[in-house]
Amino acid sequence: MDDLSTIRSEALSAVSTATDLAALEAARVAVLGKKGSVTGLMKTLGGLAPDQRKEFGAKVNQLKGEIEQALDARRSTLGASELASRLNSDRVDVSLPARPEGQGTLHPIGQVMDEVAAIFGEMGFTWADGPDIEDDWHNFTALNIPPDHPARQMQDTFYLPSRADGTPMVLRTHTSPVQARTMLNPDVHKMLADGGSLRIIVPGRTYRIDNDATHTPMFHQVEGLVLDRATHMGHLKGCLVDFCRAFFEIDDLPLRFRPSYFPFTEPSAEVDIGCSWKDGELRIGAGDSWLEILGSGMVHPNVIRNCGLDPAVYQGFAFGMGIDRIAMLKYGINDLRAFFDSDLRWLRHYGFSALEWPSLTQGLGR
Ligand code: DAH
């Protein structure tokens, strides 16, 4: 009996003083393990007379149950406090970025659109939009491009199935249809009648069946349109000189206006910027060579008339240029197709910081 009460008090005290789960497990093994004190008592049962065995066996079993209960209770207390202290020390810092910071970049096309918008924004232009899937009338007819004009031919244009009402549809071949969409807007008619001036730029996607190092089936343009009662060719020239010098960040960049032809302008001019070639490398700026970068002209009276306005009252200028092309020239990118390959190494090299918004006062590009 003495044995029992000693074993009992020692076992219960080992359980209650165990300070962690490992110490508690050691206490359990010391009592209930293969060589444990209670296990030892169980082993003696076989050598007892049946009567004694029954009586002593019941006591040992009761002791075993008591100790197991104490173990369970202590285990759950220690388990809860260990969990609490782990939760306390293993903090998850939710402010840590899941990925390394600063890995993403702005695509050069988006960057150049923003640079262009920053410059024209300073001149009072707003950004206008139109659909990529355009009807034949806005893309061609409204812009004074007759049905037999080569620009309509299958090799240039992606033709789509006609709409249910029979309207022929295309993927727009230029951003110019947004000129017509804007000039047709009754709010714009009212603004012009009130003596206002229309100034929009239209950056966006354009499509032609073409594919080589300098042409892709999808590319980008920015259109510009100014219309009111007084805008003349001098404004066209001043506006585009200012734009090109600001965009290329070269104050004395020479420009050349060359007579040209577009169905939607009269007169029309193509604009070249000065450049030079040294060891096969292009340098933009005063030099002995010229690079064509945009088309422009005074809006053709037929276009103004097609949009429900009187060409005897309103006049203005328009221009259009390839965003991809001016991005390639400014940032020294020589294969247009790389723009659309989504190669992360290329994007990291040519991409821009998303945190630096282009502006004329803070700086446009890098
Ligand atoms: N739409 C012409 C093109 O895609 C570019 C252009 C030239 C637009 C002259 C104009 C313009 O608005 O006046 O080649």
- Residue 366 pLDDT: 67
Whether residue 140 has its Cβ less than 6 Å from ligand 1: no
Q: Is the CB of 306 under 6 A from ligand 1?
A: no
- The CATH number of 108-350 is 3.30.930.10
The response to whether residue 299 sits with its C-beta less than 6 Å from ligand 1 reads no
Q: Which helix (H) or strand (E) holds 361?
A: none
CA of 308 to the centre of ligand 1 (A): 21
**To test ligand 1's pocket by mutation, which of 134, 156, 174, 182 has the most ligand atoms within 8 angstroms of CB?**
174
Q: Name the pLDDT band for 94 (thresholds 50, 70, 90).
A: confident
* Cα distance between the two ends of the chain: 92
Task: Please report, as a single letter, which amino acid is at residue 343.
Answer: D
Give the whole-number percent of the chain exceeding pLDDT 90: 72
Q: For the chain, where are the E strands, in sequence order? A: 126-127, 133-135, 159-160, 169-171, 198-207, 218-228, 255-262, 265-278, 281-284, 289-299, 315-322
Contact of 264 with 173, CB cutoff 8 Å:
no
User: Ligand 1 pocket test: which of 156, 222, 319, 326 has the largest number of ligand atoms within 8 Å of its C-beta?
Assistant: 319
Ligand 1 pocket residue status of 262, Cβ below 6 Å: yes
**Mean pLDDT within 329-343:** 91
Ligand 1 centroid distance, CA of 102 (Å): 38
Please report the pLDDT score of residue 31 as a whole number: 92
Distance, CA 321 to ligand 1 centroid (Å)? 7
DSSP for 90-131 reads: S---TTS-SS-TT---B-HHHHHHHHHHHHHHHTT-EE----
pLDDT at 213: 79
Domain boundaries, the chain: 2-89, 108-350
Q: Does ligand 1 have an atom closer than 6 angstroms to the CB of 223?
A: yes
- Residue 65 DSSP class: H
Between 45 and 151, the higher pLDDT residue: 45
Q: Which residue has better confidence, 177 or 364?
A: 177
Instruction: Give the residue-averaged pLDDT of 190-212.
Output: 95
- Tell me the pLDDT tens digit for each residue of 98-111: 766 666 899 999 99
Between CA 358 and CA 115 the distance in angstroms is 6
Among 120, 152, 176, which is best to mutate for testing ligand 1, by the most ligand atoms less than 8 A from CB? Answer: 176
Q: Is the CB–ligand 1 distance for residue 319 below 6 Å?
A: yes
| Ligand 1 site, residue 174, Cβ cutoff 6 A | yes
Orientation angle between helical segments 323-331 and 108-122, nearest 10 degrees: 100
Mean pLDDT of 119-136: 97
175 close to ligand 1 (CB < 6 Angstrom): no
pTM of this prediction? 0.73
For residue 296 and ligand 1, the question of a CB distance below 6 A is answered with yes
Considering only CA atoms, which of 17, 201, 196 is closest in space to residue 116? 201
The pLDDT assigned to 95 comes to: 81
pLDDT tens profile 272-306: 999 999 998 999 999 999 999 999 999 999 999 99
Q: What is the pLDDT of residues 229-276, one digit of tens each?
A: 999 999 999 999 999 999 999 999 999 999 999 999 999 999 999 999
Least trusted range by pLDDT, from 80-84, 112-116, 304-308: 80-84
194 pLDDT higher than 90: yes
